[in-house]
Chain A
């Protein structure tokens, strides 16, 4: 079975732009979570979605938004990019209650 996939692998944007990151969960997993990992730090929770409903939100500004589609894939959107948004963005999928499996991440660089 394929693992969690994320696209794109790398992305370069400039300040003020908008970005969309995509995630496909493992087949059969209905929950998707997003994390931000700044260089040298542990991942920080951004959002969790289950069955297309938001289940949790971390301490991130409203510039960050997400959604989950009927096929359980998910998008993370970030508006008005700041230099501090440069990070590795990780997606994880799981069954409702269980281990979270992580994708390889999208490396976002904001110039």
Chain B
């Protein structure tokens, strides 16, 4: 069975400082991993995805994530936070790689960006 643990429920950063949102996964197969963002009263938007190609994945809006199999981690980073990045972020796992089947979401990390 697949599962995802987001290690921080809330993260606060100052504008123009780095962002780190942590995610660990558990999977019986080679998983596909995703990060989604959810702004208030808006739908989920895909930030980036890992599907067994390059381990460093670049996404939209300057976000990137690194797949580390030895650590079963898929942490999300951004060098410089903007006020518009304030939102809920979800780490997601899907098995097997590339499938459009069931997505398993983490519990979410609320990112606050301080002026």
**B102 at the A interface (CB under 8 A):** yes
Partner of A45 from B100, B103, B107 at Cβ < 8 Å? B103
B103 touches A41 (CB 8 A): no
Rounded to whole angstroms, the CA-CA distance of A98 and B92 in the bound complex is 14
Residues of B within 8 A of A (CB-CB), count: 19
Interface string of B31-58 (1 = CB under 8 A from A): 0000010000011111001000000000
Residues of B within 8 A of A100 (CB): 100, 103
Rounded to whole angstroms, the CA-CA distance of A52 and B49 in the bound complex is 27
Rounded to whole angstroms, the CA-CA distance of A33 and B105 in the bound complex is 14
Rounded to whole angstroms, the CA-CA distance of A55 and B42 in the bound complex is 27
Interface string of A96-111 (1 = CB under 8 A from B): 1111111111000000
Question: Which residues in chain A, 63-111, are within 8 Å of chain B measured between CB atoms?
Answer: 90, 92, 94-105
Residues of B within 8 A of A96 (CB): 100
Question: Which residues in chain A, 25-71, are within 8 Å of chain B measured between CB atoms?
Answer: 31, 33, 35, 40-45, 48, 55-56, 58
Find the A residue at minimum CB distance from B49: A99
**B17 at the A interface (CB under 8 A):** no
Chain A contact patch, size range: 20 to 34
Identify which of B90, B100, B101 gathers the most chain A CB atoms within 10 Å of its CB. Answer: B100
B102 touches A48 (CB 8 A): yes
Q: How far is the CB of A81 from chain B (nearest CB, A)?
A: 23
Q: How far is the CB of A55 from chain B (nearest CB, A)?
A: 7
A45 touches B43 (CB 8 A): no
**B80 at the A interface (CB under 8 A):** no
B42 touches A97 (CB 8 A): no
A105 touches B43 (CB 8 A): yes
Task: Provide 16 A-B residue pairs closer than 8 Å at the C-beta atoms, listed in order of the A residue.
Answer: A4-B43, A40-B108, A43-B44, A43-B103, A44-B105, A56-B101, A92-B44, A97-B100, A98-B98, A98-B100, A99-B49, A100-B103, A102-B45, A103-B43, A104-B42, A104-B43
A contacts, CB < 8 Å to B: 3-4, 31, 33, 35, 40-45, 48, 55-56, 58, 90, 92, 94-105
B contacts, CB < 8 Å to A: 36, 42-46, 49, 90, 98-108
